[in-house]
Structure 1
Amino acid sequence: MTDDRVQEVTSPRTAAGLTFALICAASFGASGAMAKGLLAAGWTPAAAVTARIVVGALVLLVPGVVALRGRWHLLRENAGFVVGYGLMVTAVTQFAYFSAIERMQVGVALLIEYIAPVAVVVWLWLRHGMRPGRLTALGGVVAAVGLVLVLDLVSGGADLDPLGVAWATLAMIGCATFFVLSAQADNALPPVVLAAAGLAVGSLGLLGAGAVGLLDMTWTTEPAVYGTTEVAWWIPVLGLGAITCAVSYTSGIMAVRLLGSRLASFVALLEVLFALLFAWLFLGELPIAVQFVGGALIVAGVVLVKLGERSTARG
C-alpha cells in the first residue's frame, strides 16, 4: 500500500504533509468547543453537525468543481467509495462526536476518539497481515492504561455518562476509517473533490434522516454562550462549516495521502492538545489531574505504536 512507505522526515513531501496535518489538527480541534456553545443554546447534536457539514459542502462546492475540471466520470467510477466515505467519515463520525460532547467534556471525548491510531494498526494487521512488533504491542498496552485513567475507572471520580463514552467510541471507529480511506493515494479524486463530495453525501444523509424523524433537528436562533460571552448563532455555524469542516477535511486528506495513515494518525493526536486549548479558552473546561495523566499515557502509547510500526517497516 502507498501509505506503508517509510517517509524520510527531511523530505519535501513529508514537510508538506506535516504542514497539512497541523492545519487539520488545529481546525478539527476547535470543532468541539465551537459546537458546545450551540448545544448549550438549545441545538441538538444532529442539528449542529448537519449545519456544519452543509456549510462545509457549500464552501467546497466551487473549489471542488474547479479541481474536477470536467472529469465527472471520476465521481461515477468512485461512487461507492464516495458514498461510504461521506456517510461514515463525515456524517456518522461527526454526529457521534457531537453527541459525545453533549454528555461529557470536549477534551475527554476527544482523548477517547484518538485511540483511533491503535485501531488503524489493528486493521492493517487483520486486513493486510501487517503484524505489529513488540514495541507496537507495548504501545497498545500503555494506551489502554491511559484510557482507564482518562475514564477514571479506578477512583470513579470522573462524572462520565456511559452513553457519552459509547458515542465517543463510535467516533473513534469513524476516525480510524477516515485515516484508512483517505490514505488511498491511488484514488484519482483530488483531495478537495473527495472532501466536497463526501460532505455533500453526508449532508444528504443527515438531512434525509432528519426529514423522516430518525434524528432530532432542533435548532434555535438564541445566542451561543462561551463562558461569559454571547455571540450570534450564525458565527459558530459559519466557523464550524468553513474552518472546522471544509479546511479540516481537505487538509486532512492531503496530509494522509502524503504521510500515510500511520504517521498522519500520530500527528493528528495534536488535535487533542488543540481541543484542550480551545475548550479552556472558549468554555473554561479542563480535565481533572488523573485524566491529564491518562491523556499523556495515551499519547505515549500511540507514539510507541508508531515507532514500532516504523521499525517493522524499516526491517
Structure 2
Amino acid sequence: MAAFTHDARLGAGLGLALVSASSFGLAGSLARALRDAGWTPAAAVAARVLLAAVVLAPIALVQLRGRWGLLRRTAGVITAYGLVAIAGCQLAYFTAVTYMEVGVALLVEYTAPVAVVGWLWLRHRQRPGRLTVLGALIAIAGLLLVLDLLSGARASLVGILWALAAMVGAASYFVLSARREDGLPGSVLAAGGLLLGGLALVAAGALGIVPFAVSTADVAFVGFTAGWWPTVLTLGVVTAALAYAAGIAATRRLGSRLASFVGLTEVLMALLFAWLLLGEAPRPIQLVGGALILIGVVVVRLGEPVRAPEPAAART
C-alpha cells in the first residue's frame, strides 16, 4: 500500500512538473511576440506575474482560512521567493542578454539543477550519488546541443555574472518551492511571491533600472495575429499562475533536486512553441539534445533515494 502511494505521488509529481515546464516554455514565445509589438521585457514580465497573483489570490485566501499568523511566520520565505526567485531571476536574465547572446545566458541559467545538487550537499549533507552526477552531465550535454552553442558564441564577463545571478534565482525557486516544514500552502507562496515580484519589477521600471513600456498593437504569430490583451492574459494565467502553482506542487512531491532536472524540459518545450508560434524550427542537433535532456532526467530519477512515505496526517 505504501509503495502504491509512493508511486502515485511520484506519477502525479512528474505530471505536474511537465505541465509546469510546458507552461513556462510557452512564455518565451509570447514574450518575444509582445516585444516585437512594442512591449519591453520588464513590462511583459510585470504584467504576467501581477495577473497571475490576482488569479491565485482567491485560492490562497481559501487555503489560508484566516491563519494570518502563518503569513507573519513565513514572511521571509515569501519575500525571498518573490524578490529572488521571481523578480531577481528575471531581471538578472534580461540584463544578461544585453551583454551576451540569449543562448549563452540560457545555458548559464539552466545550470541551476547543478547548483541545487550542490546546495543540498553543502547545506543538508545530501551527497549526490553516481547516477545523479551522471544524469546531471547528460542533461547539461543535452542543453549544449539544444542551445546549439558548439558553433562558438561570444560572452562578456559582465554578462556571465548577470546570468549566474539568474541561475541563483532559478535554483532558489526549486529550493524554496520544496519547503513543506512551515506548513505554507503552495498557492499562498506562489500568490505572495508573484505579487511581490511584480511590484518589484514595476518599481524597477519606475526608477529607470529597466526600460518599461507597453503597447496596444496587435501581436503577430506565424499565420495569425492576436490582440494584446488575450496574449497578456495567456501569459499571466497559463505561463505564470498555472506554471508556478503546478511547479510548487510538483517540487513538493518530487523534491527540489529531481524537480529541477525535470524542469530542464522547459528548454525543449520552449523550442517547440517557438517552432509553432514563431516559425523557428528546431535543428536536428537540438532534437538530439532534447532527447539527452530526457535521458538525463531519467538517470537522475534512478539515482534519487527512496523517500519514506509521509504520515497520513501530514498530507493535504
TM-score under structure 2 length normalisation: 0.83
Change (3 A) 1:47 1:29: same
CA RMSD of aligned residues (A): 3.1
Q: Could you tell me which residue of structure 1 aligns to residue 59 of structure 2? A: 63
Q: Secondary structure at the match of 2:215?
A: coil
Report % sequence identity.
53
Unaligned stretches of 5+ in structure 1?
1-5
Change (3 A) 1:143 1:20: closer
Partner of 2:311: none
- Alignment coverage as a number of residue pairs: 305
Q: Which stretch shifts more, 8-17 or 253-262?
A: 8-17
Over 3 Å counting, the alpha-carbon distance change for 1:168 and 1:286 in structure 2 is: farther
Please give the residue correspondences for 1:209-228 in structure 2 after superposition, counting only pairs within 5 Å.
209-228=204-223
Q: What is the aligned partner in structure 1 of residue 131 from structure 2?
A: 135
1:198 is displaced (CA, Å) by 0.7
Using a 3 Å threshold, how does the CA distance of structure 1 residues 35 and 53 change in structure 2: closer, same or farther?
same
For residues 180-219 of structure 1, the C-alpha deviation after alignment (integer angstroms, 9 at most, x for no partner) is: 1111111222111111111111122112222221121122
Tell me if 1:178 matches 2:146: no
Measured in 2, the distance between the counterparts of 1:20 and 1:143 equals 20
Aligned-pair distance for 1:100? 6.8
Query: Partner of 2:247 in structure 1?
Result: 252
Q: Which structure 2 segments of 5+ residues have no match? A: 309-316
CA contact (8 A) 1:8 1:14 kept: no
Describe how 1:169-208 pairs up with structure 2 within 5 A: 169-208=164-203
Q: What's the offset of the Cα at 1:147?
A: 4.5
Q: Name 2:264's counterpart in structure 1.
A: 269
Q: Which residue of 2 aligns with 1:236?
A: 231
Q: Is the 8 A contact 2:268 2:290 kept in 1?
A: no
User: Which structure 2 residues correspond to residues 137-156 of structure 1 after superposition, within 5 A?
Assistant: 137-150=133-146, 152-156=148-152
Structure 2 partner of 1:22: 18
Does 1:290 pair with 2:290?
A: no
Query: Separation in 2 of the partners of 1:168 and 1:70?
Result: 40
Distance across 2 between alignment mates of 1:296 and 1:99: 30
Show the counterpart of 1:3.
none
Q: CA deviation at 1:52?
A: 0.5
Question: Please, what TM-score do these two structures have when normalized by structure 1?
Answer: 0.83
Structure 1 residues 290 and 101: CA distance shift in structure 2, 3 A: farther
Alignment of 1:124 onto 2:123 = no
